[in-house]
Amino acid sequence: MTGFHPRNAAAGTCFRDLRPLFDPISLAVIGATDTPSKIGYELIKNIVEGGFQNPVYPVNPKLKSLMGMTVYRSVRDVPSGVELAVVAVPASQAMTVVRECSESNIRHLVIITAGFGETVGGSALEQELTTFAKSNGLTIVGPNSAGIVNTTARLYACIEPRPVTGSVAFISQSGAFGGAVFNYAKDRGVGFSKFVSIGNACDLNMIDIASFLANDPETKVIASYIEGLKNAEGFVEKMKSVTRRKPVIVVKVGRTAAGAKAARSHTGSLAGSDAIFAGACKQARIIRADDVEQMVDYALAFLQPFDSCGPRIGILSDAGGPAVAAADVCEENGLRIPEISTDCKKQLASILPSFASCTNPVDMTATLDPNLYQECIRILFNDPMIDGLILTITGHVRVQKELARAISGALDRRNRKPLLVSWTAGKDVDEGRSILLDNGIPVYLTPERAARAMAALVKHKMIIQKAAMLT
């Protein structure tokens, strides 16, 4: 039954099947063009260069062929069985195209076209689109979307630069933030499984997509940038059933009057009260991040398959200042910096210089010996008093590679407690940082950022564990 919308089913028990969006059997690209300045060019170029394996049908009445493919005059002319249409025509033609898609039995649409609810005169057009979609059982991403990406299927139906493959799904109301975040995240060692630019979100919103991706085996963490939520009925219950399965990190803007006004002219979003949203997030166990940088900070920690999680944090440092900074942020965020066991202290004292500090935070004091880092990490991880470890490094440009390898060698793969590293230095230690990232050790610029990520990780895991025990 094509027109069935599981969104009307009981919350948490069902979700809309978005498989045809992310992995369509075939794909029509309406408005594909060979004019490089046009959006329809970026779109078809990304799809072709991305290497999508299923049939792609460009549609443009003015062209015969494009990048070696036959171009169709209308979507009604393409072979049947197309599951997804990506629409990049002018706003004036959008409704005609949508109707033609519906008539051709294409039920999933990504609408790149702008000029809907985000513009002064466009809300009527958006209402028309919404109503038509609902009464004809269409599933729509957008309008005013930058597209959709599924790195596993090599589907890059998107006008933003392509992300590297990884395990974060990013649902963003800003398309441009998508590409920009991909670029930045790549440097941080974070890649993406899916990307959906929801734009004005006339139909599918963050809740629908997150609910579907809760069951996506390629996605370990869901991250989202949103300006407002339409159709937010059942938000808490629906999102709770997502966060039970995987962490959801949200950057929400439009918090102030000025921001809300700007959001309205960007995606036509009604930002709503931030206090209400904050309360709903707390209930739904959503992790809020201050900006996209912190979103990546948190994703980095959540991507790792740590076996346990508790609030008692050990801090190991090669300099006193960063250790103090990390301790402050841990305690400010509800973590504890406990005494380490007598046995652990003795072991540390036996290998560290006499002027080192063998209480928690453990200050090895300036050392260039990578093995000392490795030994200290091992000793601290073996202490039953410690649930997780923050290691702060300053500088160490010359021995960066040896150091990163020694730290990586200290991980116990059988019982992995969280290890987050802050490495304060310039990009001259990027090689060392990369080695840590390649070994599954999240790296941050400052002790404060590492500690904030640790707090987000631990608090969330504990809430989820507790909830699981209660149900």
Q: Which of residues 437-466 bind a copy of itself (CB under 8 A)?
A: 445-449
Q: How far apart are CA 87 and CA 32, in angstroms?
A: 9
DSSP H or E stretch at residue 309:
none
Q: Judged by CB, which is closer to a copy of itself: 9, or 366?
A: 366
Closest separation between CB of residue 432 and a copy of itself, Å?
12
81: left (phi over 0), alpha (psi -120 to 50) or beta: left
Q: Judged by CB, which is closer to a copy of itself: 15, or 444?
A: 444
Which residues have CB under 8 Å from 250's CB, separation 6+? Answer: 206, 223, 224, 225, 226, 281, 286, 287, 288, 289
Contact letters for a copy of itself, residues 347-366 (x by CB under 8 A): --------x-x-x-x-x-xx
**Residue 63 CA from chain centroid, whole number:** 38
Using rule CB under 8 A, residue 72 touches a copy of itself? no
Q: How far apart are CA 228 and CA 118, in angstroms?
A: 12
Closest separation between CB of residue 319 and a copy of itself, Å?
3
Q: Which of residues 32-71 bind a copy of itself (CB under 8 A)?
A: none
Nearest to 373 by CA among 396, 354, 343: 396
**Residue 161 phi, psi dihedral angles, 5° rounding:** -55, 150
Are 423 and 444 a contacting pair, CB within 8 Å?
yes
Q: Judged by CB, which is closer to a copy of itself: 54, or 367?
A: 367
Q: Which of 157, 292, 376, 421 binds a copy of itself (CB under 8 A)?
A: 292
**Residue 223 CA from chain centroid, whole number:** 3
Q: Judged by CB, which is closer to a copy of itself: 68, or 426?
A: 426
Q: Which of residues 97-116 bind a copy of itself (CB under 8 A)?
A: 114-115
DSSP H or E stretch at residue 186:
helix 175-188
Q: Which of residues 320-339 bind a copy of itself (CB under 8 A)?
A: 320-325, 327-328, 330-332, 336-337
**Tokens 């398959």 -> residue:** 305
Closest separation between CB of residue 278 and a copy of itself, Å?
14
Closest separation between CB of residue 30 and a copy of itself, Å?
19
Are 213 and 219 a contacting pair, CB within 8 Å?
yes
Closest separation between CB of residue 66 and a copy of itself, Å?
21
Which residues have CB under 8 Å from 124's CB, separation 6+? Answer: none
Q: Which of residues 151-180 bind a copy of itself (CB under 8 A)?
A: 159-161, 172-177, 179-180
Are 240 and 284 a contacting pair, CB within 8 Å?
yes
Count of all residues that appear for the chain in the document: 471
Q: Judged by CB, which is closer to a copy of itself: 168, or 251?
A: 251
Q: How far apart are CA 164 and CA 40, in angstroms?
A: 22
Are 373 and 405 a contacting pair, CB within 8 Å?
no
At residue 381, the 3 state secondary structure works out as: helix
Closest separation between CB of residue 293 and a copy of itself, Å?
5
Task: Tell me the CB-side half-sphere exposure of residue 240, using CA atoms within 13 A.
Answer: 16
DSSP letter (8 states) at residue 297:
H
Number of residues that bind a copy of itself (CB under 8 A): 78
**Residue 38 CA from chain centroid, whole number:** 28
Using rule CB under 8 A, residue 133 touches a copy of itself? no
**Residue 418 phi, psi dihedral angles, 5° rounding:** -65, 135
Q: Which of residues 293-322 bind a copy of itself (CB under 8 A)?
A: 293, 315, 318-322
Of 81-89, 134-142, 202-210, 254-262, the segment contacting a copy of itself by CB under 8 A is 254-262
Using rule CB under 8 A, residue 126 touches a copy of itself? no
Closest separation between CB of residue 243 and a copy of itself, Å?
23
Of 6-14, 20-28, 132-140, 424-432, the segment contacting a copy of itself by CB under 8 A is 424-432
Q: Which of residues 365-394 bind a copy of itself (CB under 8 A)?
A: 365-366, 394
* Residue 143: cis peptide before it, omega within 30 degrees of 0: yes
Closest separation between CB of residue 122 and a copy of itself, Å?
9
Q: How far apart are CA 260 and CA 471, in angstroms?
A: 38
Q: Which of 48, 59, 86, 181 binds a copy of itself (CB under 8 A)?
A: 181
Are 120 and 83 a contacting pair, CB within 8 Å?
no
Q: Which of 18, 263, 286, 407 binds a copy of itself (CB under 8 A)?
A: 263
Using rule CB under 8 A, residue 346 touches a copy of itself? no
Q: Which of residues 199-228 bind a copy of itself (CB under 8 A)?
A: 225, 227
Q: Judged by CB, which is closer to a copy of itself: 104, or 400?
A: 400
Of 216-224, 265-273, 381-389, 457-465, the segment contacting a copy of itself by CB under 8 A is 265-273
Of 125-133, 233-241, 256-264, 431-439, the segment contacting a copy of itself by CB under 8 A is 256-264
